[in-house]
Amino acid sequence: MAITRDEVAHLARLSRLALGDDELDHLAPQLDVIISSVARVQEVAAEDIPPTSHSVPLTNVFRPDERQPCLAPDEALAGAPAVEDGRFRVPRILEEE
């Protein structure tokens, strides 16, 4: 069953899309191909295959949250190119008003 130009025009009106005559003529065969492809996929789906959201099982790859000792301020600032008042010094990007 092919999608007609009139059906595309009807769908465009329902979607509130303004399509020209050349666009309707161009979209009708494309929509027909899309609908045919979806129909083929529905034929392949088997009853004995359970629905899934992923093709492979998902596993949690994150480690559990555990408290770790953090760096002392001097250790954290040791590799900084510039330090001021115990903080990283960076160039000013905003002017004060």
Domain boundaries, the chain: 5-44
Q: Confirm if 73 and 86 have CB atoms less than 8 A apart.
A: yes
Residue length of the chain: 97
Q: What is the pLDDT of residue 48?
A: 79
Place of tokens 């009139």: 6
Question: Residue 35 contacts by C-beta under 8 Å, 6 or more apart in sequence?
Answer: 3
- CATH assignment, 5-44: 1.10.20
**pLDDT at position 94, please?**
85
Give DSSP secondary structure letters for the chain.
Answer: -PPPHHHHHHHHHHTT----HHHHHHHHHHHHHHHHHHHHHHHH--TTSPP-SSSS-----PPPP---PPPPHHHHHTT-S-EETTEE-----S---
Residue-wise pLDDT for 41-97, tens only, equals 877 767 777 777 787 888 888 888 899 999 999 999 999 999 999 999 998 888 776
Q: For residue 88, what are the β-bridge partners?
A: 83
Residue 14 is predicted with a pLDDT of 95
